[in-house]
Amino acid sequence: MGKAGTYALLLLTAIFWGSAFVFSKVAENSVPPVVAAFFRFGFGAIIGVLMILVQKARSPKFVATPKTAWRETIILGLVGVAGYNLFFFAGLSLSLASDGSMVIPTLSPAITIILSVLFLKERFRKNQTMGLMITLLGALTFFSAILFLPSTGGMQRLLGDGLFLGSAVLWAINTLLSKRITSRVDPFLVTTYAMVFGGAFIGIIAFPYLLHLDFQHLSWKFWLNEVYLALFPSVLANWFYYLGVHRIGPARASVFMYFVPVSSLIIAGIVLGETLTLTQFLGAALMMVGVWLVNRKAKTLKTETDN
């Protein structure tokens, strides 16, 4: 698979993750936040393990465990699955889904880049920096309508947004850690086992809530929603993201996070009846131009290196 295929997978990742803001909010209408997180990643872990077992049955030589990276995989599970989603679902219960789709995707790439420069010694030239600036400008433009509309919520909403910021920091750390692991281990194995460990940790926290949960009042629509969240925004999206980090690096892969708020609001329009303004469409266009500039410069740099 070439770069075009990798970019397509990262775009799908953004769409799946964008939908997670909407459908996670739907799930929280029926169960406590930590229970919704546990069902999502518990199902995701089961689906991932089943896919690994099928692959192992088809090819007995297939290595089905991250033998050389158990410790790192467990850390990814605690940081990128458990930590991120405990902050995310808690923030979702206090604030708006639109706030989360703004704070996390917009700030996470910037934090990732800062950490990359500090710890991975990555360097960015003028065109790449300009691309990031344009993408950030697009994100600010896209959400300007939301930011300046009168809103309620007070300190509770502010606390929720602070939890979203915590999710953004944890995801940036997860992105950098995954770069080291996926260079040695199949990204799907990393995705699945991180989900197993992260989901198990969330399950420990969710256990008291599960004891008092009235399962009979949960409709088939709720379970269908949870299966969707487990398969697409969890298993497939995380796998695609780790593949992208492995192939084009954490800084460039994280830029695609800017598409998450775009897809989130589009899906929210379909599911919740919200509409996009002209300003938001302009912001989306700027984000796409910014991502194109970053990756165009990256291609040029690779050519110079090859020569």
Quick one: pLDDT at residue 267?
A: 86
pLDDT at 132 exceeding the cut of 80: no
Crossing angle of helices 154-182 and 237-248, in 10° steps, is 60
Q: What is the pLDDT of residue 109?
A: 72
What confidence score (pLDDT) does residue 297 get?
A: 46
Is pLDDT at 165 greater than 80 in this prediction? Answer: yes
Average pLDDT of 190-209? Answer: 92
DSSP assigned state of 63: -
The whole-angstrom separation of Cα 133 and Cα 141 is: 12
| Region 133-155 average pLDDT | 65
User: Cα dihedral angle (18, 19, 25, 27), rounded to 10 degrees?
Assistant: -140
Handedness of CA 143, 147, 149, 154 (dihedral sign): positive
Q: Cα–Cα distances in Å, from 226 out to 87, 128, 170, 172?
A: 18, 38, 23, 25
Q: In 116-186, where does DSSP find H-type helix?
A: 126-142, 144-147, 154-182
The better pLDDT of the pair 131, 197 is held by 197
pLDDT higher than threshold 90 for residue 199: yes
pLDDT of residue 200: 94
73-88 pLDDT, tens digit per residue, is 999 999 989 999 999 9
Between 305 and 86, the higher pLDDT residue: 86
Q: Are 190 and 182 in contact (CB under 8 A)?
A: yes
Residue 300 pLDDT exceeds 60 = no
234-246 pLDDT, tens digit each? 888 878 887 887 7
HSE on the CB side for 13, CA within 13 Å? 24
